[in-house]
Structure 1
Amino acid sequence: MTKNFNKSSLTLTKEEHIKENSNYLRGTISDDLKNEITNGFTGDNFSLIRFHGMYQQDDRDLRIERNEQKLEPRHAMMLRCRLPGGVISSEQWLKIDSFVSKNTLYKTIRLTNRQTFQIHGILKKNLKNIHQILHKIGLDSLGTANDVNRNVLCTSDPMESKIHQECYEWAQKISNHLLPHTKAYAEIWLDQKKVFSTDHEPILGKTYLPRKFKTTVVIPPHNDVDLYANDMNFIAIIENKKVIGFNVLIGGGLSITHGNKQTWPFLALELGYITLDKTLSVAQAIVTIQRDWGNRTNRKNAKTRYTIQNVGLKIFKKEVEKRANITFEPIRSYLFTTRGDSIGWKKDINNNWSLTIFVENGRICDNNNQLLKSGLLKIATVHKGNFRLTSNQNIIISEISNENKNKIENIAISYGLIKTNSKLRENSMACVSFPTCPLAMAEAERMLPVFITKVENIMLKYSMEKEIIILRVSGCPNGCGRSLLSEVGLIGKSIGRYNLYIGGNRIGTRIPKIYKENITEKEILVHLEFLIKDWSIYRKENEHFGDFIIRKKIVKEVINPIHDFWN
Structure 2
Amino acid sequence: MSDLNELKVSGKLADNERIKGESNFLRGTIAEDLNDGLTGGFTSDNFQLIRFHGMYQQDDRDIRAERAKQKLEPLQTMMLRARMPGGVITPQQWLGIDKFAEENTMFGSIRLTTRQTFQFHGVLKRNLKLMHQTLDAMGIDSIATAGDVNRNVLCTSNPVESELHAEAYAWATKISEHLLPRTKAYAEIWLNGEKHLSTEEPILGSTYLPRKFKTTVVIPPHNDIDVHANDLNFVAIADNGKLVGFNVLVGGGLAMTHGDTATYPRKADDFGFIPVEHTLAFAEAVVTTQRDLGNRVNRKNAKTKYTLERVGVDVFKAEVEKRAGVKFEPSRPYEFTERGDRFGWVKGIDGKWHLTLFIENGRILDFPNKPLKTGMAKIAAIHQGDFRMTANQNLVVAGVPEAQKNEIEQLAVSHGLMDSSVSEQRQSSMACVALPTCPLAMAEAERMLPEFVTDIEGMLAKHGIAEESIITRVTGCPNGCGRAMLAEVGLVGKGPNKYNFYLGGNHNGTRIPRMYRENISDTEIKAELDSLIGRWSKERDGSERFGDFVIRAGVVRPVIDSARDFHDNS
Q: TM-score range by the shorter chain?
A: over 0.9
Q: Partners in 2 of 1:128 and 1:391 — Cα distance?
A: 28
Which residue is equivalent to 1:40?
A: 41
Tell me the SS of whatever aligns to 1:509: coil
- In the alignment, the residues of structure 1 paired with residue 505 and residue 46 of structure 2 have an alpha-carbon distance, to the nearest angstrom, of 39
Do residues 261 (structure 1) and 270 (structure 2) align? no
Q: Secondary structure at the match of 2:370?
A: coil
Compared with structure 1, are the counterparts of its residues 469 and 11 closer, same or farther at alpha carbon in structure 2 (3 Å cutoff)?
same
Distance 1:309 1:416 in 2: 47
CA distance in 1, matches of 2:540, 2:288: 47
Is contact 2:8-2:293 (8 Å) kept? no
SS at match of 1:438: coil
Task: State the 1:400 CA deviation.
Answer: 1.2
Task: Name the counterpart of 2:484.
Answer: 483
Q: Which residue of structure 2 lines up, in the alignment, with residue 503 of structure 1?
A: 504
Q: CA deviation at 1:339?
A: 0.4
Alpha-carbon distance in structure 1 between the residues aligned to 2:198 and 2:135: 27
Aligned match of 2:474: 473
Structure 1 residue 228 displacement after superposition = 1.1
For residues 46 and 184 of structure 1, the distance between their equivalents in structure 2, rounded to whole angstroms, comes to 15
Q: Give the 3 Å change call, closer, same or farther, for CA 157–334 of structure 1 in structure 2.
A: closer
CA distance in 1, matches of 2:176, 2:309: 26
Q: How much has 1:348 moved relative to structure 2?
A: 2.0
**In structure 1, what is the Cα distance between the partners aligned to 2:290 and 2:160?**
34
Tell me what 2:403 maps to.
403
Q: Any gaps of 5 or more consecutive residues in structure 2?
A: none
> In the alignment, which residue of structure 1 is the partner of 2:285?
285
- Secondary structure of 2:367's match? coil
Is the deviation greater in 343-352 or in 548-557?
343-352
Partner of 2:85 in structure 1?
Answer: 84
The residue type equivalent to 1:81 in the other structure is: A
Kept in 1: contact 2:184–2:198 (CA 8 A)? no
Asked if the contact 1:5/1:294 (under 8 Å) is kept, the reply is no
Cα drift, residue 471 of structure 1: 0.3
Deviation string for 1:537-565 (max 9, x for gaps)?
00010000000000011111100111111
CA shift, 1:3, in A, is: 6.0
Whole-angstrom CA distance in 2 between matches of 1:50 and 1:149: 12
Q: Equivalent residue for 2:527?
A: 526
Match of 2:191 in 1: 190
Partner of 1:563: 564
CA deviation after TM superposition for structure 1 residue 239, in Å? 1.1
Q: CA RMSD in A?
A: 1.2
Mapped partners of 2:263, 2:537: distance in 1? 35
- Give the secondary-structure state (helix, strand or coil) at the position aligned to 1:273: strand
Farther off after superposition, 360-369 or 526-535: 360-369
Tell me if structure 2 keeps the 8 A contact 1:148–1:212: yes
Q: Which residue of 2 aligns with 1:252?
A: 252
Partner of 1:138: 139
1:349 deviates by 2.9
Q: CA shift at 1:78, angstroms?
A: 0.2
* Equivalent runs, 1:45-84 vs 2, <5 Å: 45-84=46-85
Aligned to 1:233: 233
Does residue 382 (structure 1) correspond to residue 382 (structure 2)? The answer is yes
SS at match of 1:127: helix
In structure 2, distance between residues paired with 1:533 and 1:374: 41
Amino acid at match of 1:257: T
Q: For residues 391 and 5 of structure 1, what CA distance do their matches in structure 2 show?
A: 38
SS in 2 for 1:346: strand
In 2, the alpha carbon distance for the partners of 1:22 and 1:451 equals: 44
CA distance in 1, matches of 2:342, 2:172: 22
Aligned residue identity for 2:123? I
Residue 32 of structure 1: how far off its partner (Å): 0.5
Distance in 2 between residues matched to 1:320 and 1:522, nearest whole Å: 48
Q: What's 1:457 paired with? A: 458
- What is the distance in 1 between the residues matched to 2:232 and 2:159? 21
1:452 partner amino acid: V
**Residue 149 (structure 1) aligned with residue 150 (structure 2):** yes
2:25 and 2:198 in contact (8 A); partners too: no
Deviations 1:512-539 (A, max 9, x none): 0001111111100000000000000000
Secondary structure class of the residue paired with 2:78: strand
Is the Cα–Cα contact under 8 Å of residues 5 and 297 in structure 1 kept in the other structure? Answer: no
Contact 1:6 1:292 in 2 (8 A): no
CA–CA separation in structure 2 for the residues paired with 1:147 and 1:141: 14
- Structure 1 range deviating more: 401-410 or 285-294: 401-410
Structure 2 vs 1, CA of residues 312 and 382 (structure 1 numbering), >3 Å: closer, same or farther?
same
Distance 1:391 1:4, change over 3 A: farther
The 5 A counterparts of 1:54-453 are 54-157=55-158, 160-195=161-196, 197-420=197-420, 421-453=422-454
Q: Name the SS for the 1:56 alignment partner.
A: strand
Q: For 1:185, what is the secondary structure of its paired residue? A: helix
Shift of residue 4, structure 1, vs aligned partner: 4.5
Shift of 1:199: 2.6
Unaligned residue ranges in structure 1 (runs of 5+): none
Distance 1:385 1:12, change over 3 A: same
| 1:101-155 Cα distance to aligned partner (Å, 9 max, x none) | 0000010010001100000000001001111111111110000001000000001
Determine if contact 1:159/1:399 at 8 Å carries over to the other structure: no
Percent of aligned pairs sharing the same letter: 58
- Range that drifts further, 53-62 or 415-424: 415-424
What amino acid is the match of 1:163? Answer: L
Q: Partners in 2 of 1:158 and 1:314 — Cα distance?
A: 37
**Deviation, structure 1 residue 192:** 0.7
Please report how far the alpha carbon of residue 7 of structure 1 lies from its aligned counterpart in structure 2 after TM superposition: 7.1
In structure 2, relative to structure 1, the CA distance for the partners of 1:5 and 1:133 (3 Å cut) is farther
CA drift at 1:399:
1.2
Find the residue that maps to 1:15 and give its secondary structure: helix
Q: 2: distance between equivalents of 1:552 and 1:7? A: 43
Matched to 2:567, the amino acid is W
CA distance in 1 between partners of 2:66 and 2:5 (Å): 47
Q: Which sits farther off after the overlay, 395-404 or 169-178?
A: 395-404
Q: How far is 1:286 from its partner? A: 0.3
1:9: how far off? 4.8
Tell me, in whole angstroms, the C-alpha distance in 1 between the residues paired with 2:10 and 2:394: 47
Q: Higher mean Cα deviation, 361-370 or 519-528?
A: 361-370
Alpha carbons 2:245, 2:275 under 8 Å: kept: yes
C-alpha distance in structure 2 between counterparts of 1:286 and 1:460, whole Å: 48
AA matched with 1:566: H
